[in-house]
Structure 1
Amino acid sequence: MPFTRIAVRAGKPAAYRKALTQGIQRSLMETFNVPEDDIFMVVTEHDGDNFFYGKQYLDIQRSDDLVLIQITANATRGVAEKKKLYAAIAANLAESPGIRPEDVFVNLVDVPKENWSFGLGIAQYA
């Protein structure tokens, strides 16, 4: 049910991008109980002229290896579950492909269940 957008600086190899999706999916499965085959993700690459971020916002020292992750999911989880998700993503991406936790930015967008159609023009969760 989650839809995940991942934005990175251009130039990373395919294996790196695949490791991102695998680490995020593993985190969603561990903390949000998302089924393994419930995976809908896109990775976009941006050159330096189209990738902007606060290098020291909130005293976090970010680098050009910053990964911007936006996850749209059902509005059914509490703060504790969300915090577990953020921590799991940072830990899994540190393990593979080796991203510093300072370079993992996550934004969670909560939506009502009726805001999804997985195909066939049907609101499967409504």
Structure 2
Amino acid sequence: MPSTRIETRDGWIGGRRRELIEAVQRALIAGLLIPDDDRCIFLQEFNDDAMIAPPNKGPRYTVIEIKLFSGRSVEAKRRLYQAIVEELSAFDVPASDIKTVLIESDPVNWGLHGKPASEIDLGFKIDV
């Protein structure tokens, strides 16, 4: 049940916003083995004067922040990082311009349907 934010500069995505969101969704499925209908992704674009990036990064510098349940293996995280790079290459985003940040939290700290996620059958495994 990841909650994902894509942050980048305004202007380069154009009319491909939904395509970019779907590309990140595919990476989440490939990396974390979540079901396709597990979707919670937001895209935020910033004007040049509202974002400072490292000087060696290009105009498509993208930060992907993923909040997720703790318990994924290092191998699952590697799959995720690689899948994100592969998916964003279709948008001419070089691997060196992609930063992925995982913020893990115990399922007891997520409220879903009025209950802690630790008490709900999520329909998928976390320890992948």
TM bucket normalised to smaller: 0.7 to 0.9
- Cα contact 2:30–2:79 (8 A) shared by 1: no
Give the C-alpha shift of residue 67 in structure 1.
0.9
Letter in 2 for 1:67: T
Aligned partners of 2:58, 2:92: CA distance in 1, in Å? 13
User: How big is each residue's C-alpha offset from its partner over 1:33-88, in whole Å with a ceiling of 9 and x where there is no partner?
Assistant: 111010101111111111112133xxxxx202111100011111122221121011
Residue identity (%): 27
Unaligned runs of 5+ in 2: 120-128
Q: Secondary structure at the match of 2:117?
A: coil
Q: Tell me if 1:6 matches 2:1.
A: no
* Equivalent position of 1:24 in the other structure: 24
Q: Which amino acid aligns with 2:67?
A: T
Q: Is the 8 A contact 2:5 2:65 kept in 1?
A: yes
Contact 2:31-2:81 at 8 Å conserved across structures? no
Give the equivalent residue in structure 1 for 2:40: 40
Match of 1:124 in 2: 117
Q: TM-score, normalised by structure 2?
A: 0.83
TM-score by length of 1: 0.84
Unpaired runs of 5+ in structure 1?
57-61
Which residue is equivalent to 1:59?
none
Aligned residue in 2 for 1:98: 92
1: CA distance between counterparts of 2:8 and 2:31? 24
- 2:77 pairs with 1:76: no
Map of 1:106-117 to 2, 5 A cutoff? 106-117=100-111
